[in-house]
Structure formats: structure tokens, C-alpha cells
Structure 1
């Protein structure tokens, strides 16, 4: 088995492509833009691609990989389409990584594409929204990009109120109870990530926010306020993976995939300790064991900060600090740009945005750019090892449906 190199990385700006915030674009247009950017970054001709691995989640778009590759002029190759909630594209990434590592393919394309804004703002009509909802059989009521809502009786956790904001609010409240973590410490994570996002031209939100603005924004689920939630938006992200031998023909900047671990949440692994996510700890430890790289070696982390408590508990779950010390890391600036272990220098999901299926690969892209020294004002100086942390859904026993951690190094 040989080394796997991320040869090229490209994405669209994340945001609302609704003809108001950004010009309207559909799934295929977003996917093509990201893939072309990745191909350009790699220097690889599209006809060299031997297989493609795609992810798409919200709209259930059939064969998104074929739709995008057709527009790229790529055909006659294996194409794999994936769905794994918020961890969709990193699940695709891991399968691609293993195929290249095991010699099944030499050079491949991996992409996540998501369209969460269904109608152009300039053309949206009530009857269009109504028709779309009715045609979906009630399974998907997105309208102009609202939350996914399942009919009553189809999802028990939703029926009793355990949707994503409530889930992470429960974790946050438990952490406050056990360790004295404060609302201000959670809110400071949003301030930090929006500051990082202000330096990222691909971020959905490129404006800084103050602590007062975060704390005084509308309460969503105590202690989580509106500015501590990830926004809704569209976007696509793509990378080119290649064997080391092939990659050396194109670049001397070799960013290696040191390891990748995905696992479904272990049933009730966090029982009695809901100030943490045991499945994340298990996945991280497995990655550390496989790579021989530990938490003290990390230079930069892209983390799934869907809600601010998630980022704080991940400091502890990844072993960056001991349980209960996450708040201290926030106060001391350890996880901010310029700190010892910067988290979410891209802006994270909070500011960069969260087009669900594109998120995981976008995390990898930020790490690739960081390790190659290509991030400009938000560059982490001397970064050599990066970790992407991604979670998908809520599984049995209130564990993540999928926990994913990926390590890159130069």
C-alpha cells in the first residue's frame, strides 16, 4: 500500500445562490465550478481522472456524480455517489483514499455538492413552495432553505424535540453544570470563528461579530443563540487524490493523507457523560493509533462547529485538553489564529457555512491550503499537521450517526 497525496483542492464560495445574495446556480453548476478549481489547482487534465466519488444529501439528487462529470467531459469511469448526513463528503473521501492507497485507482476526483436554497428569491412564489412540498410526499419541506422536517411519526427523536440545536444545547448545559463553563465561553467561539471567516473569501459570512452581538442574538435553544448556529447555504468542494508516484509528476508540495477513520456512533457510548461525545473520542484515538500522531502534534484543526458547544467539547474529545478545560482554552486564545492549536481558521461552519454534503471536503481543502502555505492573512505559520473532524446526524443511543476524523501532513 502506498502513500496518498491530495494533489489539488478547489471549492465555490459558500452562501445563498438565490439571485439576491449570490447569483443563482444549480447543483451541477456548483459542482462543476468546484471540480474545475480543483483540477486547475492540481494541474491535472480531466481525462486523467480514473474514478469519481461524490456526495450529496439534502435534495436526494439522483446520480449527482454523473450529472457533474458529464458537464466536465468525464465519462466511462467508475462513479460512486454517497450520503451520510453532514459527514457525506468525508465518507466519500475515505473510500477514495482507500482505493488509491490499495492501488485500485491512481488518480481520482472527490466532491461534495449541496443545494439548500431551492428557489431564486426573485421568482419565488407561494404556489411553487406548496407544489414542491406536496410533490415530495411531505418528506422534505425545505422551501427557501429551511430545516429538514420529517412527518410526525417517522423520526422519534424529532417528535420529542431532540433536533440538532436541542441536542447540542443539552451537551452545552451539561458541560456548564459539570465544569462551570459559561455562556460567554461558548459565545467567544462564534466571535473567534467569524473573525477567521472575515479573512476567507470563500466564507458565507465575512464579517466579524462582537461578544455582545452573539449573546444578544435571538435565543434558539438555551444556551445557544442565533449567532452560535451554522447558517443555511449552498456550495461545492472538490479534491484530487493521487498516488505519491503520480503526484510527484505535478508538484513538490506533497500533502499526504496520513489516515482517515469513520465509524458509526457506538450505542449509548456517552451514557452518563453527556458533556462529551464518546464516539468522537473513540474515532480520534483510533486515528492517533493508526498514524502515530497524537493531539500534541496538531498544528491546525478544522472542526464540525455546527453549534458552539460542539467545538468546545471537541477540544476535550480530541485530547487537546483534559475534560472540563475547554472553556479555559477559549479564554486563553489557544484555539484562535496565533494560538497553539488554531481551530476553524476557515471560519468553520459558523462563518464559512455548512452546505451539508460539501462540508467535509471543504475542511480538507482548508487543511491542504494551510499545509501548502496558501491561506494568506489566515495562514497558520509553520503548519505541518492538520486534522479534520466531521460528524453526521444523530444515531442510536444519542451518539453521532457517523464520526469522521482525517489527518493530513507534509
Structure 2
């Protein structure tokens, strides 16, 4: 089966602390960069997909963006699925071009979460994730929810904080090779486990960054892709998996919807898990990546941290993973965080990853999850 959809342009802005930036400005920078990368003009774009913003929240963010940029696409909508938004947007864009409804769909994200929000504002926004009846009254936070998963996981498999910390260390090593990464200085396992405790057993270096930044891609139909410049990357397969919204309703604290979403994406792409050359998988916390790697099937239960410690997630390892540094070290700008993973996959398959390039990369797997491991979307890309 083929989706007849190709990524023809990709671009992300500077990332980190960007004083004076705004949500719409970052959207515009990313969008113009992606359109230019594809060798197109804004007039060629007939579909626009946006996600959400913490700093400029709006019920119709895609319409606000189009107004800001002065464009009038035939299809325009916003998708909100937390950290899964970016991957779901790519899946939706692929469906739009495959069905003939659009020729070139712009998928665009961005937010100035670091400089545009106060600490109290950020905490208030994230607290809305909890169930209003069964979670919020007890003060549970997003880190505490993931810590609940971590506690169960560590108890179930005998995993240590040091093993989870190895994931953060490898991500920082990857980020050190990327000139745009928010955090590039090396860290050690000791530094991770001795960093400030946020929600036991998760330390601050087990947690993703808060960054300013934007990202965008252009998804084109097979026929329209012929009119673009550069190397197109095909979207071979996509799938979703949804098991719950609130963590109190999760059917398992070990297996999640990524198991279903990845299986669907692999089947539609006609490839196997073992065929993947490089993976970019959502890593809001070290525990997030560990349980997803194992639920998807890349590693046996309880083994992801050990694999990271042995270099298996590094450039020469079994599964080079989050080669830009991921949310843990490259940066996290809301919905743009998930699209950074997509863009890194595109760089790898185009052979543009420079010092972090995976040799002869032909197939890439990207996964996003939203909520507390709630909404999942998997993508397979190939050249």
C-alpha cells in the first residue's frame, strides 16, 4: 500500500531562549522556511494545518495564522492532540494530498513557551491535563503523572534511576552534534541522578526542556512533488492508537497505544520494525522514551535504559534514536517539539544531518504521544 504523499520541504527556526519572539512570528518563520525549502511560493499552498499555542491560545489558530501570513488556502484547520499533534497533522496532510483534496499542505507549529510564559502560567496551563474530578483536586501535575508510570515500571522490571539517566545522557550527546540544540553541554549519569528531584523518581534532567521555536513541513501529492526542488521523502505508513485520556483510566502503566499505532504504521508501510535505520520517538521524560521503545518492540521490557547505557541508541548502535537530542536536549516548544522529530527524520533521510548522520539511512520511524501517554501516532518515512 502507498500513501502517495511526500515531504517536500522542512524547516525549523532557531531554538532555545529567543527574546522578542512570538507564537505567530515563529509560525511564520518556520512556514516561509519550509515553503522555500520545497522551492514553492505561498500561492502554491492549498492546505494549512496548525496545532495549538500556550502563549497565544485561540480556538481557530490555523485561521489566525493564515490571516497573519495573508494566505487563503482551500483547507485550513487546527489539530489538538498534545504531543501527538505534529504526527497526527502529518498523517492528516498525507490523507489530504492522497485523496486529491490538496496538492501542497503546509504543516506548521511554533510557540515561545520559554520567554512568553511565566513559571506560574506554565504550571497553570499544564495542570489542565488532569481529570477535573479525579486528578486535579489532589494536585497531580504532569511530571507527577509520568512519575507514577516510572514508579510502576521500575518496580515491575527492577530498573534503576541510573538506567533511565543513561537515556538523558545519550540524548545530550546527540544534541552536542547539532549546532541549533537548546542544550549542548555534556552531562553524566551522576549529574542526572543528583539533579533536583521533580517528582520521585524523576529528576529535572529526566524532564524535557521548555523552549522557544517553530517548525514546519510541506506535504505534497506524488504528482505535485515533481514540481518541487530537492529530495522528497515519502510518507510510507501511518497509524494511531488511543487507550485513555487521563492516567487514572489507563488500562496499563506498561503497555500503551504506541503498540497499536506502530503496528499499523509498519503494516501500511510494508516494512518490519527491524528494517528501521533511525528513529525519532517522543521523549517528554526519560520514562516516556523507555516505555515507548519497549511497547513498540524495539527492546525487551525493562531493557531500554540498559540499551542506552550500552550505546544502542547512539549513532553506531542498534537503533540510533533522537539524533537531534530530542525534547530532552534539542528543545520542546509545544506542538513544535513533535515536529522537530519529523524534521530530524527528514534531515537523516536526505543525508543532511552532518555530524549526526546515520550512515545509509533509508527508513525512519517517528512517533508522537500526547497527554499522559494517551494519544499516539506513528509514521514511517522512506527514500
**Which deviates more, 84-93 or 6-15?**
84-93
Residues 391 and 401, structure 1, Cα contact 8 Å, conserved in 2 = yes
Q: CA deviation at 1:224?
A: 1.0
Q: Are positions 1:404 and 2:377 aligned together?
A: yes
1:295 lines up with 2:273 in the alignment: yes
Offset from partner CA, 1:116-140 (integer Å, 9 cap, x none): 24648xxxxxxxx7xxxxxxxxxxx
Change (3 A) 1:222 1:383: same
Cα 1:151–1:199 change in 2 (3 A) is closer
Q: Among 19, 30, 37, which residue is 1:41 paired with?
A: 37
Which residues in structure 2 correspond to 1:140-179 (within 5 Å)?
142-143=120-121, 148-150=126-128, 154=132, 156-179=134-157
Alpha carbons 1:165, 1:221 under 8 Å: kept: yes
The alpha carbon displacement at 1:193 in A equals 0.5
User: 1:333, CA displacement in angstroms?
Assistant: 1.1
TM-score, length of structure 1 as denominator length = 0.85
Aligned residue among 339, 351, 366 for 1:388: 366
Distance in 2, matches of 1:56 and 1:111, equals: 10
1:65 aligns with 2:62: yes
Distance across 1 between alignment mates of 2:111 and 2:292? 25
Q: CA deviation at 1:144?
A: 6.7
Deviations 1:369-407 (CA, angstroms, capped at 9, x unpaired) = 11000011111111111111111113xxxxx33111111
Deviation digits for residues 200-220 of structure 1, max 9, x if unmatched? 233221222122211110011
CA distance in 2, matches of 1:269, 1:332: 35
Listed as ranges, the gaps of 5+ residues in structure 1 are 17-21, 121-128, 130-140, 395-399
Where in structure 2 are there 5+ consecutive unaligned residues? none
Distance 1:269 1:261, change over 3 A: farther
CA distance in 2, matches of 1:372, 1:270: 38
The 1:76–1:327 alpha-carbon spacing in structure 2 relative to 1, beyond 3 Å, is closer
TM-score (norm 2): 0.91
Post-superposition shift, 1:340?
A: 1.9
Q: CA–CA distance in 2 between the matches of 1:85 and 1:155?
A: 20
2:74 counterpart residue number: 77
Tell me: CA distance 1:284–1:119, structure 2 relative to 1, closer, same or farther (3 Å).
closer
- How many residue pairs are counted as aligned between the two chains? 379
CA distance in 2, matches of 1:8, 1:327: 34
Matched, 1:216 2:189: no
